[in-house]
Amino acid sequence: MIDLYYSPTPNGWKISIMLEECCLPYKVIPVNLGAGDQFKPEFLSISPNNKMPAIVDHDGPNKDDISVFESGAILMYLGEKSGMFFSQKPKERIKILEWLFWQIGGLGPMAGQVSHFVNYAPNFPGDHSYSETRYKNEYDRLLGIMNNILSKRDYLAGDYSIADIASFPWVTAYKRYGVNLDSFTNVRKWFDKIKIRPAVRKGMDLGKEARSFGQKMTKENLENMFGQTAESIKELTEKMKNNED
């Protein structure tokens, strides 16, 4: 059994989709980010970067427990474990890794910043238009890159793989981010094919009642998530530790 530390966001969906695709049994452990669950000692021992998703596989190598944080590493781990969506053939594998890392280093962080400026920055005073445009342009550029590669093949690395599973969640919010997906014809085709996969629907629906898009957040929630510095996370970690004692 796999414990999935999860909150219903694009980074969380990557893993709920993958677990559903591979039919691996899992138990969800909700991580309430606004409330600061990511600073609880038990969570930090699994995910020292205070971010979800993370997993603990109680049936890991040699039947031992193993924990994994960072969505890309988790997808690789689950791909290895299941033998699915992560080819063993060196040439195919490197293509999958190229596009997986492209998502982890590019599409995810840039779309994440677009999400920040669309969903959360309006809670903070000031003019955020330069930053919002900067990240929206970069998101647009990355969708253009995807569109080019998808003119040559059906999926990012050839066959449907962990690279597509990582990227799909960050395309789903295109409307909220002001993108006309129909102007990226090949991405639109790719998106429409993936969104009807039963495992993708199940993975994306997991915990959907807890989604808030920045609404319903208190000042403390916002501070916990977006006021983080090296010093503040020390304090939050201490506070969570004391709450548990």
At 59, is the secondary structure helix, strand, or coil? Answer: coil
Closer to ligand GSH by Cβ: residue 50 or 147 = 50
| Extended strands (E) in the chain | 2-6, 26-30, 54-57, 66-69
| Extended strands (E) in 37-129 | 54-57, 66-69
Contact call for residues 155 and 164 (beta carbons, < 8 A): yes
Closer to ligand GSH by Cβ: residue 3 or 186 = 3
In angstroms, what is the minimal distance from the CB of 228 to ligand GSH? 6
Q: Which residues bind ligand GSH (CB under 6 A)?
A: 9, 11, 33, 38, 50-53, 70-71, 104, 225
How far, in Å, CA of 15 to CA of 72, rounded? 9
Closer to ligand GSH by Cβ: residue 53 or 79 = 53
In angstroms, what is the minimal distance from the CB of 89 to ligand GSH? 25
Lookup: tokens for 213: 């898009």
Nearest C-alpha neighbor of 140 from the set 95, 192, 183: 183
In angstroms, what is the minimal distance from the CB of 129 to ligand GSH? 24
**How many residues in the chain?**
245
Kindly tell me the sign of the dihedral angle through the C-alpha atoms of 115, 133, 104, 50: negative
In angstroms, what is the minimal distance from the CB of 71 to ligand GSH? 4
Exposure of 63 in the CB half-sphere (CA atoms within 13 A): 0
Closer to ligand GSH by Cβ: residue 60 or 106 = 106
Residue 25 is classified by DSSP as: -
Closer to ligand GSH by Cβ: residue 104 or 194 = 104
Residue that is written with structure tokens 């691996």 in the block: 24
Closer to ligand GSH by Cβ: residue 84 or 225 = 225
Contact call for residues 173 and 8 (beta carbons, < 8 A): no
In angstroms, what is the minimal distance from the CB of 224 to ligand GSH? 7
In angstroms, what is the minimal distance from the CB of 136 to ligand GSH? 18
